[in-house]
Structure 1
């Protein structure tokens, strides 16, 4: 579709509106600076963004157990939950964020226009939650693992509702062993047992974590048990569709009683692959990496090309055939999305 041509008057009006907005932002920033210089704000302090509401932030102090409602300096880039910041407290108990610290990483997801949007920062691990019910499919788990690998944030697999497992563990037990052999940490949990969350507590302590996973696997129930003092709503599992519903509406960082933090948000839970290309998907299968670059043809797509290093690895058992089939299924779904 060609761009609509604007008349000279329309261009002038757009430029005028943009100039007025810039001037308002500059005046707002100047007022902040005047207050800072006049001593209306206290000394610089370190904090972390607990939640984000437009240009207003909830910032947690690193020196005391409380939060402050702060506004954002006009010259700062957008902040997200989990960002480390420098802020100054005002005489009325509010504050102003004056700087953002360096990010170790940032978790992004595509918005409605397909543009990547940051939703959380400085995360130590992504916990991929799946459950005995609804049924955990290997391809779905692989999709979450690929998406996690693309962020550079270590993933952890969490099997919930283990009280529903058969005594021998069934096929899920075999599936977990396959991922453990690849080097992925695996944690099993249940909210029905008194000690069902001990392994999960150990995995979370001292780290900043996020939960991802399909609806109905019990993410909100786990968070409710991990944070007993927080009033979190829990989405019920539909008795008909056996699917759950999202209940959290904004990204928020929670302090865990035993130490560490947990960031919860639907924007994080809805974790997909639409923003990844074929190369990123291929590299997201960690056991493929040692074979990449060794195919006969540089543009090998690992389908049926002669001299394909991945296909040869599958034939001799170095790559599990079901993982390779899952990989091909993901690539095919990307091709379908582009049609």
Structure 2
């Protein structure tokens, strides 16, 4: 008996698409009819699970709802129109989501196979969580800052596990503090907190008041621990940092929106170890380094790559004169290098003329 030939990526995708289509046909047949539904109501998506979602009404009461097949995309934070089920059914759903309102902001994450995947909508600010452990990384922070600048959502840099600073060598502490001071000089707000000792939480609570905020950051930086410290009643699952790799373990699996007692909402997002930016072109990435903007367009050559060997590079000259931090230019080049190596072959970056 011969061996089965392994399916290629295209065949696998078509097979999964056909399976999904069959599932959709079954779900469509199970959708409630209008006679069993109440009047339209406004709501907000708390979280989504496949073809179902949890919706909060204006009183923050939650309801598990079916999503109409006509809705193309739906994510945590979306404003929707939904209707309650008024008739008794064997299904567990309590309502049906009929429509999605226009979004004023959307945070998306590039996915190698599926392109840009939306994470959460209608956000006012993004809390970029970094920490002393796993190792503090300005390069990861800059990736998130680029993402924030690209979609025009206010970022706030939060150093979690600040209580561990005293366990580090003096030069390591100096490096972290100098980097945070650099971001403050650029104009970004920086907070130092500890979910373990609760240090600095008052500053975060004040910042979150009357805002819709989302916490992002690589796995293991303590996002869920921080959410638990701010909202102890929700008890999100907390993971440890791997002793072998030094990397964090994923705990949050779907973006979830929580009401805050002082007003406002906090979204806990799935942990990711690296935020890809291959959906952007190089010029857009450079613009998203907001301290680069005074120097962009002033290079001798229009196709300048801003490398040390490029003559008349305004960014290199700004570093030499002390008007631009060398670490930021270094991180920019590392991001550009990673974009070239991780970009899917069929991906077309935003801003490309192709």
Shorter chain as normaliser: what TM range? 0.7 to 0.9
Q: How many residues align?
A: 320
Q: 1:240 deviation in Å?
A: 4.7
Is 1:299 the counterpart of 2:294? The answer is no
Q: Which residue of 2 aligns with 1:68?
A: 63
Q: How does 1:261-280 map to 2 (within 5 A)?
A: 261-266=265-270, 271-280=275-284
3-state SS in 1 of match to 2:283: helix
Is 1:121 the counterpart of 2:133? The answer is no
Residues 145 and 73 (structure 1 numbering): CA distance in 2 closer, same or farther, change over 3 Å? Answer: same
Separation of aligned partners in 2, 1:198 and 1:269: 28
Q: 1:270 deviation in Å?
A: 5.3
Q: Which residue of 1 aligns with 2:54?
A: 58
Question: Which has the higher Rg, Structure 1 or Structure 2?
Answer: 1
Is 1:332 the counterpart of 2:343? The answer is no
Q: Which residue of 1 aligns with 2:95?
A: 95
- Over aligned residue pairs, what C-alpha RMSD do you find? 3.0
Is 1:44 the counterpart of 2:40? The answer is yes
Provide Cα deviations, 1:131-187, integer angstroms capped at 9, x if missing partner: 122331322322222233223222110011222224986322221111011110111
Moved more, 275-284 or 224-233: 275-284
Q: 1:26 deviation in Å?
A: 7.4
Give the TM-score of the pair, scaled to structure 2: 0.80
Moved more, 275-284 or 81-90: 275-284
Provide Cα deviations, 1:45-95, integer angstroms capped at 9, x if missing partner: 111001112221110001x23111111222222211110011111214811
Q: How does 1:234-313 map to 2 (within 5 A)?
A: 234-266=238-270, 271-303=275-307, 304-313=309-318
1:86 aligns with one of 69, 81, 102: 81
Q: How does 1:90-239 map to 2 (within 5 A)?
A: 90-91=85-86, 92=88, 94-166=94-166, 170-239=174-243
Q: 1:239 deviation in Å?
A: 4.2
Q: 1:212 deviation in Å?
A: 1.6
Separation of aligned partners in 2, 1:223 and 1:23: 39
Contact 1:130 1:213 (C-alpha < 8 Å) held by counterparts: yes
Separation of aligned partners in 2, 1:155 and 1:310: 24
Separation of aligned partners in 2, 1:136 and 1:225: 21
Contact 2:250 2:271 (C-alpha < 8 Å) held by counterparts: no
- Note the residue ranges of structure 1 that are not aligned, 5 or more in a row: 5-13
Separation of aligned partners in 2, 1:300 and 1:143: 21
Q: 1:216 deviation in Å?
A: 2.3
Provide Cα deviations, 1:286-309, integer angstroms capped at 9, x if missing partner: 111122222232222222333322
Is 1:323 the counterpart of 2:319? The answer is no
Q: Which residue of 2 aligns with 1:11?
A: none
